[in-house]
C-alpha cells in the first residue's frame, strides 16, 4: 500500500472520464486542499482529505506493508499524458537551428531533402536496438518531467520495413519502460525521396500495403497524416485516414500547421479523434470540430521553436472544442520532453489558464489517446499514475516556468522517481 500524505493540494481533475472537458469545464480541477491519496495493487484505492486518507489507511492497511510519501507543501496531480509525439527516431537535427535563425523556413529545409527526410535517412540506417536505446533516453527524460504515458507516432521509416521497425521499438519500450506508449502509424509523414516524382505511388503504398500490414501486426491503434501544402493534400489525407478506418486504425491528423488547408474540417468529416497543431485553422474548421467533438491537440512548443504564432486556444475553448496539449517531441520542430514547460507556454503564449493547461495534459490528453477510462485523473479505481510537484498549488506550477519541479513520480502505484532520483531499473 502506498500513502501520499498531507499534500497541500491533490488536484484530482475528476469528473471527465466519460467525455473530455470543454469550455468552463476545463477550469474545474476538483482540488482537495490538505489531501491524501492511497494506492494499492497499482490502482488508486482512496483519495480525499488527509484526515480521511489516514482513516482509510488505519482501517484497510493494518498488517500491510505501507510506504508513506510525505507531501507537505506539495502538489499532487495525475501523471501527465503527452498525446502527440514522434519520440521514436534516430539522431538529431541541431544543424537546422542556425539555418532557421538565418531565415530558412521549416518547409524549405524539408523541400530541399532535409527535415523529416534527414531523420528518415538516419532512422532507416539505425538498427532496431539502436532505435530502442536512443528512444529509451527520451522516455527517461519524459518520466523525469512527470510524464507517465505518451502517444508515439511512426513516420521516419517511410517504407514498410522501417515503419514496422519504429512501431516494434515503441512496443518493446512500452513493455520495458515505466512510461506507457500508445502507437500511431504515420507512414504519411512525408513523401520519401524515392517517390518524390510520383507522390500518388507512395499514397498507394501507404493505403494498400503499409496500413494493412501494420493493422495485421497489431502494432498501432491510430493512423495520422501530415495534411499540409507540399506534403499530403486534403484529398490524399482523406484516403489515407479512410484506409486506416477500414483496418481499425482510428484517425488523427496534423492539420493547418503551416498554412490554412482545411485540415480541421477534414478531421470533423472523417470523425477524427483529434486534430493537431491547428495554427491556421478557420472559424468554420473550429465550429466543425466543436460540433463533432474532435479534440484539438495544441503544441505551443512547436510554435515557439519554429518562431511563429501559436494556435488560437481561447477561440477553440470558447467554441466548445476540447483542448489537449502536447510536446510534439521530435527532432525538427520540437526537441523537448518537458510537458510542464509546454503548460507554461500554453499559459504565457496562448493565454490558457493554469487550470485549463493542467486539464489539457491530463484527462483531455487521456481522451485523445483513448485511455480516459484508466488514466488522466485521480479517482478510486483508476491506474495509480501520480506526480508530486515541488509547488504549493497549480498557479505556482505554471508560473515558475521552464524549470523541472517534478519531485516524485508514481507509475502503477510504484515510485519510479523519488525526490528527483531515478529508482527504476
Ligand atoms: O509535428 N509536422 C510534421 N511533423 C512534426 C515534425 C517532424 C520533424 O520535423 O521531424 C511536427 O511538427
Ligand atoms: Fe507532430
**Residue pLDDT, tens place only, 169-192:** 999 999 999 999 999 999 999 999
| Percentage of the chain lying above the pLDDT 70 cut | 100
CA atoms within 13 A on the CB side of 16: 37
Closest ligand to residue 301's CA: 1
Report the distance separating Cα 186 and Cα 198, nearest Å: 19
327 alpha carbon – ligand 2 mean position (Å): 9
Report the distance separating Cα 362 and Cα 375, nearest Å: 8
Report the distance separating Cα 241 and Cα 247, nearest Å: 10
Q: Which residues surround ligand 2, an ion (CB under 5 A)?
A: 328
Report the distance separating Cα 45 and Cα 395, nearest Å: 27
Q: How confident is the model at residue 95 (pLDDT cuts 50, 70, 90)?
A: very high
Which protein residue has the closest C-alpha to ligand 1 atom 8?
A: 332
Cβ-in-10-Å burial (0-12, 13-18, 19+) of 94 comes to exposed
Pocket of ligand 1 from Cβ distances under 6 Å: 86, 115-116, 119, 226, 254, 257, 302, 328, 330-333
Which protein residue has the closest C-alpha to ligand 1 atom 9?
A: 332
**Residue closest to 1 by CA, chosen among 51, 37, 55:** 37
Q: Which atom of ligand 1 is nearest to the CA of 106?
A: 9
Closest ligand to residue 302's CA: 1
261 alpha carbon – ligand 2 mean position (Å): 16
For 327-356, write each residue's pLDDT tens digit.
999 999 999 999 999 999 999 999 999 999
Q: What is the mean pLDDT of residues 223-249?
A: 98
Q: All 3 cell numbers of residue 43?
A: 490502482
Amino acid at each position: 500500500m502506498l500513502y501520499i500524505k498531507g499534500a497541500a493540494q491533490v488536484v484530482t481533475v475528476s469528473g471527465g472520464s466519460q467525455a473530455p472537458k470543454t469550455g468552463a469545464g476545463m477550469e474545474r480541477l476538483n482540488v482537495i486542499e490538505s489531501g491524501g491519496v492511497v494506492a494499492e495493487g497499482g490502482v488508486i484505492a482512496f483519495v480525499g482529505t488527509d484526515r480521511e486518507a489516514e482513516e482509510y489507511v488505519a482501517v484497510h492497511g493494518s498488517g500491510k506493508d505501507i510506504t508513506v510519501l510525505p507531501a507537505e507543501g506539495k502538489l499532487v496531480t495525475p501523471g501527465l499524458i503527452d498525446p502527440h509525439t514522434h519520440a521514436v527516431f534516430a539522431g538529431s537535427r541541431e544543424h537546422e537551428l542556425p539555418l532557421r535563425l538565418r531565415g530558412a523556413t521549416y518547409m524549405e529545409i524539408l523541400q530541399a531533402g532535409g527535415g523529416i527526410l534527414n531523420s528518415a535517412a538516419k532512422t532507416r540506417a539505425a538498427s532496431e536496438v539502436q532505435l530502442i536505446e536512443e528512444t529509451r533516453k527520451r522516455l527517461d527524460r519524459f518520466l523525469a518531467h512527470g510524464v507517465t504515458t505518451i502517444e508515439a507516432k511512426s513516420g521516419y521509416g517511410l517504407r514498410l520495413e522501417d515503419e514496422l521497425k519504429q512501431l516494434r521499438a515503441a512496443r518493446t519500450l512500452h513493455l520495458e519502460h515505466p512510461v506507457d506508449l500508445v502507437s500511431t502509424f504515420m507512414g504519411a509523414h512525408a513523401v520519401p525521396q524515392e517517390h518524390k516524382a510520383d507522390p500518388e505511388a507512395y499514397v498507394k503504398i501507404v493505403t494498400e500495403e503499409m496500413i494493412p500490414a501494420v493493422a495485421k501486426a497489431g502494432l498501432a491503434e491510430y493512423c495520422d497524416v501530415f495534411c499540409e501544402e507540399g506534403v499530403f493534400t486534403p484529398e490524399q489525407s482523406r484516403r489515407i485516414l479512410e484506409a486506416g478506418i477500414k483496418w481499425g486504425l482510428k484517425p488523427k491528423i496534423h492539420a493547418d500547421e503551416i498554412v490554412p488547408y482545411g485540415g480541421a474540417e477534414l478531421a470533423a468529416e472523417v470523425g477524427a479523434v483529434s486534430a493537431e497543431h491547428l495554427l491556421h485553422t478557420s472559424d468554420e474548421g473550429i465550429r466543425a470540430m466543436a460540433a463533432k467533438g474532435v479534440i484539438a491537440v495544441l503544441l505551443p512548443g512547436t510554435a515557439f521553436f519554429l518562431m511563429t504564432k501559436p494556435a488560437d486556444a481561447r477561440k477553440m475553448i470558447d467554441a466548445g472544442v476540447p483542448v489537449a496539449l502536447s510536446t510534439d517531441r521530435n527532432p525538427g520542430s520540437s526537441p523537448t520532453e518537458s510537458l510542464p514547460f509546454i503548460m507554461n507556454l500554453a499559459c504565457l503564449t496562448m493565454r490558457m489558464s493554469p487550470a485549463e493547461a493542467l486539464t489539457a495534459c491530463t484527462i483531455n490528453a487521456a481522451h485523445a489517446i483513448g485511455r480516459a477510462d484508466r488514466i488522466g485523473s485521480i479517482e478510486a479505481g483508476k491506474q495509480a499514475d501520480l506526480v508530486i510537484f515541488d509547488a504549493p498549488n497549480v498557479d505556482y506550477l505554471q508560473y515558475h516556468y521552464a524549470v523541472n519541479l517534478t519531485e516524485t513520480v508514481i507509475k502503477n502505484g510504484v515510485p519510479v522517481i523519488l525526490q528527483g532520483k531515478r529508482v527504476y531499473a
